[in-house]
Structure 1
Amino acid sequence: MRALPAFSKPRTFPAKITTTPFPRTTATLCTQFSTENPSWKTHFISFIHACKTTQQLKQIHAQILLHNLSQSSWITTQLISTCSCFKSVNYAILIFRYFLHPNSFVFNAMIRALSENTQFENSISHFVLMLRLNIQPNQLTFPFVLKSAAALFAGGLGRALHVQIIKLGVEFDSFVRVSLVDMYVKLESLDLALQLFDETPERNKLGSILLWNVVINGCSRVGDLGLASELFEAMPERNTASWNSLINGFIRIGDLERAKELFFRMPKKNVVSWTTMVAGFSQNGDHEGALAMFHRMLEVGVCPNDHTVVSALSACARIGALDAGVRIHDYVSNKGFWLNRVIGTALVDMYAKCGKIESASRVFCETKEKDLLTWSVMIWGWAIHGCSEQALKCFEKMKSTGIKPDEVVFLAILTACSHSGLVDQGLLFFNSMRFDHSIEPTVKHYTCMVDLFGRAGRLEEALSFIESMPIKPDFVIWGALFCACRAHKNIKMAELASEKILQLEPKHSGSYIFLSNIYAAVGRWEDVERVRLIMKNSGVEKDPGWSYIEVEGQVHSFIAGDQAHNCAEDINSKLEELVLGARAQGYMPDTEWVLHNIEEEEKEDALGSHSEKLALAFGLISTPPGMAIRIVKNLRVCGDCHSMMKYASKMSNREIIVRDIKRFHHFKDGACTCMDYW
Structure 2
Amino acid sequence: MIKLKQSCFKTLLRSVCCSKSHISFINTMSLDVERSYPGTKKLKEKYENANELWEYFVCMKRLCNPIDSFTYARLLQRCASTGSLDKGKMVHAQMIKSGDNGMDTIVWNTLLNMYAKNGFVEDARQVFDKITERNLVSWTALIGGYCQQGYENEGLRLFCELLRVGMEPNQFTFSCVLKACASLGSLEFGEQLLACIFKVGFESDVFVGSALVDMLAKCGSIRDAGKAFDKIVEPDMVSWSAIIAGYALNGYGDEAMEHYWKMLMAGNMPNQFTFSSMLKACADVIALGVGRQVHAQIIRSNYQSNFFVGAALIDLYVNCGQMENAFEVFDKMPERDTVLWTSMIVRCAQNGQSEEALVIFSEMQLAVAKPDQFTFSGVFHACATLQALEQGKQAHAHMIKIGCGLDAFAGSALIDMYAKCISIEDALNVFDEMPDRNEVSWNTLIVGYVQLGYCELALKLFSKMQEAGMKPSPVTLTSILRAYASLSVLQQGLQLHSYISKSVFWLDVSVGNALVDMYAKCGSIEDARKVFEKMPNHDLVSWNTMIAGYGYHGHGEKAIQLFENMKVAGLKPDHITFIGVLSACSRASLVDEGRRYFDSMSQDYDISPSMDHYTCMVNLFGRSGHFVEAEDFIKRMPVKPGVAVWQSLLASCRIHQNIELGKYTAKHALELDPQNDATHVLLANIYAAAGRWSDAADVRKLMDDKGLKKEPGQSWIEVKSRVHSFAAGEKAHPQIDEIRAKLDSLTIQMKEQGYIPDTSFVLRDVELEQKEHSLSYHSEKLAIAFGLISNPFGTPIRVINNLRVCGDCHNAIKFISKITQREIVVRDLNRFHHFENGLCSCGGFW
The two structures have a TM-score, normalised by structure 1, of 0.85
Looking at structure 1, the residues matched to 841 and 275 of structure 2 have their Cα atoms a distance apart, in angstroms, of 62
Measured after TM superposition, the shift of residue 246 of structure 1 is 3.2
Measured after TM superposition, the shift of residue 604 of structure 1 is 2.1
1:551 aligned to 2:715?
Answer: no
CA deviation map 1:569-589 (0-9, x unaligned) = 333222222222211211111
Looking at structure 2, the residues matched to 152 and 631 of structure 1 have their Cα atoms a distance apart, in angstroms, of 50
Moved more, 461-470 or 541-550: 541-550
Q: Cα–Cα, structure 1 residues 532 and 131, in superposed 2: closer, same or farther, change >3 Å?
A: same
Measured after TM superposition, the shift of residue 298 of structure 1 is 1.1
Looking at structure 1, the residues matched to 722 and 282 of structure 2 have their Cα atoms a distance apart, in angstroms, of 48
Secondary structure of the equivalent of 1:282? helix
Match of 1:178 in 2: 342
* 1:225-304 equivalences in 2 (<5 Å): 225-234=392-401, 235-304=403-472
Q: Cα–Cα, structure 1 residues 428 and 38, in superposed 2: closer, same or farther, change >3 Å?
A: same
Q: Cα–Cα, structure 1 residues 37 and 325, in superposed 2: closer, same or farther, change >3 Å?
A: same
1:377 aligned to 2:541?
Answer: no
1:222 aligned to 2:393?
Answer: no
Answer whether contact 1:73 1:105 (CA < 8 A) is retained.
Answer: no
Match of 2:44 in 1: none
Amino acid at match of 1:248: D
Match of 1:568 in 2: 736
Measured after TM superposition, the shift of residue 555 of structure 1 is 1.6
Answer whether contact 2:655 2:845 (CA < 8 A) is retained.
Answer: no
**Which one of 695, 699, 705 corresponds to residue 537 of structure 1?**
705
Secondary structure of the equivalent of 2:329? helix
Looking at structure 2, the residues matched to 611 and 81 of structure 1 have their Cα atoms a distance apart, in angstroms, of 64
Match of 2:293 in 1: 129
Measured after TM superposition, the shift of residue 45 of structure 1 is 4.5
Measured after TM superposition, the shift of residue 250 of structure 1 is 2.8
Looking at structure 1, the residues matched to 484 and 551 of structure 2 have their Cα atoms a distance apart, in angstroms, of 20
Looking at structure 1, the residues matched to 460 and 715 of structure 2 have their Cα atoms a distance apart, in angstroms, of 19
Amino acid at match of 2:699: V
* 1:512-527 equivalences in 2 (<5 Å): 512-527=680-695
1:460 aligned to 2:628?
Answer: yes
Amino acid at match of 1:498: A
Looking at structure 2, the residues matched to 377 and 600 of structure 1 have their Cα atoms a distance apart, in angstroms, of 45
Secondary structure of the equivalent of 2:715? strand
Q: Cα–Cα, structure 1 residues 200 and 396, in superposed 2: closer, same or farther, change >3 Å?
A: same
Moved more, 505-514 or 248-257: 248-257
Secondary structure of the equivalent of 2:389? coil
Answer whether contact 2:591 2:621 (CA < 8 A) is retained.
Answer: yes
User: What 5-or-longer segments of structure 1 have no aligned partner?
Assistant: 1-24
1:661 aligned to 2:829?
Answer: yes
Q: Cα–Cα, structure 1 residues 199 and 485, in superposed 2: closer, same or farther, change >3 Å?
A: same
1:350 aligned to 2:514?
Answer: no
Measured after TM superposition, the shift of residue 299 of structure 1 is 1.9
Measured after TM superposition, the shift of residue 64 of structure 1 is 6.3
CA deviation map 1:62-111 (0-9, x unaligned) = 8967x799997655654554445554545555665776567354442233
Measured after TM superposition, the shift of residue 288 of structure 1 is 0.9
Answer whether contact 1:182 1:193 (CA < 8 A) is retained.
Answer: no
* 1:208-219 equivalences in 2 (<5 Å): 208-211=372-375, 213-215=377-379
Match of 1:630 in 2: 798
Whose Rg is larger?
2
Match of 1:187 in 2: 354
Match of 2:14 in 1: none
Q: Cα–Cα, structure 1 residues 63 and 400, in superposed 2: closer, same or farther, change >3 Å?
A: farther
Match of 2:121 in 1: none
Secondary structure of the equivalent of 2:829? coil
Looking at structure 1, the residues matched to 235 and 207 of structure 2 have their Cα atoms a distance apart, in angstroms, of 17
1:609 aligned to 2:793?
Answer: no
Match of 2:562 in 1: 394
* 1:73-88 equivalences in 2 (<5 Å): 77-88=241-252
Q: Cα–Cα, structure 1 residues 280 and 427, in superposed 2: closer, same or farther, change >3 Å?
A: same
Match of 2:672 in 1: 504
Looking at structure 1, the residues matched to 731 and 214 of structure 2 have their Cα atoms a distance apart, in angstroms, of 72
Amino acid at match of 1:230: A
Answer whether contact 1:549 1:632 (CA < 8 A) is retained.
Answer: yes
1:314 aligned to 2:485?
Answer: no
CA deviation map 1:125-159 (0-9, x unaligned) = 55533333335332113334445666788765554
Secondary structure of the equivalent of 1:273? helix
Measured after TM superposition, the shift of residue 500 of structure 1 is 0.8
Q: Cα–Cα, structure 1 residues 327 and 79, in superposed 2: closer, same or farther, change >3 Å?
A: farther
Moved more, 32-41 or 646-655: 32-41
Looking at structure 1, the residues matched to 542 and 312 of structure 2 have their Cα atoms a distance apart, in angstroms, of 32
Percent identical across equivalent pairs?
A: 34
Looking at structure 1, the residues matched to 381 and 359 of structure 2 have their Cα atoms a distance apart, in angstroms, of 14
Answer whether contact 1:348 1:364 (CA < 8 A) is retained.
Answer: yes
1:163 aligned to 2:327?
Answer: no
Q: Cα–Cα, structure 1 residues 473 and 301, in superposed 2: closer, same or farther, change >3 Å?
A: same
CA deviation map 1:616-666 (0-9, x unaligned) = 122222222222111112222222111111111122222111112222111
Choose between structure 1 and 2: higher helix proportion.
2
Q: Compute the RMSD of aligned alpha carbons.
A: 3.2
Secondary structure of the equivalent of 1:415? helix
Q: Cα–Cα, structure 1 residues 637 and 144, in superposed 2: closer, same or farther, change >3 Å?
A: farther
Looking at structure 1, the residues matched to 738 and 238 of structure 2 have their Cα atoms a distance apart, in angstroms, of 78
Measured after TM superposition, the shift of residue 376 of structure 1 is 0.8
The two structures have a TM-score, normalised by structure 2, of 0.69
Moved more, 490-499 or 591-600: 591-600
Moved more, 622-631 or 261-270: 261-270
1:670 aligned to 2:834?
Answer: no
Answer whether contact 1:83 1:91 (CA < 8 A) is retained.
Answer: yes
Looking at structure 1, the residues matched to 380 and 620 of structure 2 have their Cα atoms a distance apart, in angstroms, of 49
Q: Cα–Cα, structure 1 residues 77 and 430, in superposed 2: closer, same or farther, change >3 Å?
A: farther
Answer whether contact 1:516 1:596 (CA < 8 A) is retained.
Answer: no
Looking at structure 2, the residues matched to 656 and 580 of structure 1 have their Cα atoms a distance apart, in angstroms, of 19
**Which one of 650, 659, 668 corresponds to residue 482 of structure 1?**
650
CA deviation map 1:326-377 (0-9, x unaligned) = 1111222334434221111111111111112222112212222211111111
Count residues in correspondence: 637
Measured after TM superposition, the shift of residue 557 of structure 1 is 2.3
Answer whether contact 1:64 1:70 (CA < 8 A) is retained.
Answer: no
1:644 aligned to 2:812?
Answer: yes
* 1:385-424 equivalences in 2 (<5 Å): 385-424=553-592
Match of 2:5 in 1: none
Answer whether contact 2:446 2:462 (CA < 8 A) is retained.
Answer: yes
Answer whether contact 2:415 2:427 (CA < 8 A) is retained.
Answer: yes
Looking at structure 2, the residues matched to 38 and 74 of structure 1 have their Cα atoms a distance apart, in angstroms, of 8
Match of 1:341 in 2: 509
Looking at structure 2, the residues matched to 447 and 216 of structure 1 have their Cα atoms a distance apart, in angstroms, of 37
User: What 5-or-longer segments of structure 2 have no aligned partner?
Assistant: 1-193
Amino acid at match of 1:394: L
Q: Cα–Cα, structure 1 residues 278 and 202, in superposed 2: closer, same or farther, change >3 Å?
A: closer
Amino acid at match of 1:178: T
Looking at structure 1, the residues matched to 330 and 210 of structure 2 have their Cα atoms a distance apart, in angstroms, of 36
Answer whether contact 1:411 1:445 (CA < 8 A) is retained.
Answer: yes
Measured after TM superposition, the shift of residue 596 of structure 1 is 4.3
Answer whether contact 1:634 1:661 (CA < 8 A) is retained.
Answer: yes
1:325 aligned to 2:489?
Answer: no
Match of 2:310 in 1: 142
Higher relative contact order (CA 8 A, sep 6+): 1
Answer whether contact 1:197 1:211 (CA < 8 A) is retained.
Answer: no
Measured after TM superposition, the shift of residue 233 of structure 1 is 3.3
CA deviation map 1:135-187 (0-9, x unaligned) = 53321133344456667887655542331113xx3x12x42232244456653
Secondary structure of the equivalent of 2:507? coil
